[in-house]
Amino acid sequence: MSHNISKTILKPFLLVIALLTFGITTLSTTINASADSDSDAHYSAVYNEAKKHLGSRYVFGAVGPTNFDCSGFTQYVYKKSVSKKIPRTAQAQYNGTKKVSKKNVQKGDLVYFGGSKSSISHVGMYIGNGKMIDSQNRGVVTENVYAPWWHVVGFSRPATLTFD
């Protein structure tokens, strides 16, 4: 009789263990996939989305899809191209994304301007060769990062991008 009781108790116990193991494995896979979600983010997608909006009007506070301010533009481009959410304002984008040094800046990184790292007033997207695409008083344009009217205060990488 005690042999049957052991089997009766053991079967549900093993079933619970099997379900827990399956659940933990599934959760672990989901967490790892989320952590690596940037891994299929291609620079070409970000760059092509940004280029689509060249010539769009600058409007303070605008977040797209036809008018932008500087941080509304970078936020829109990352969300639309690689489904990456970044904060709304230039200062919040700098504060909330991974910093990179000038020597390690890559295409697709964000470049920030202002009085200091705690007083950021503008952001653009670096596209290589000292150039960026940004939204400013002339609208969405391609221009030099190191123009005399800009004071670069830092760079950040909102997503790890792959290059084709």
Q: Which residues are catalytic?
A: 70, 122, 134
C-alpha 104/C-alpha 100 separation (Å) is 6
* Spatial CA neighbour of 92 closest among 107, 64, 67, 72: 72
CB 122 within 8 A of CB 43: no
CB 49 within 8 A of CB 80: yes
- What's 89's DSSP letter? S
* Spatial CA neighbour of 102 closest among 148, 154, 43, 160: 154
Give the number of other CB atoms < 10 A from CB of residue 160. Answer: 13
C-alpha 62/C-alpha 69 separation (Å) is 5
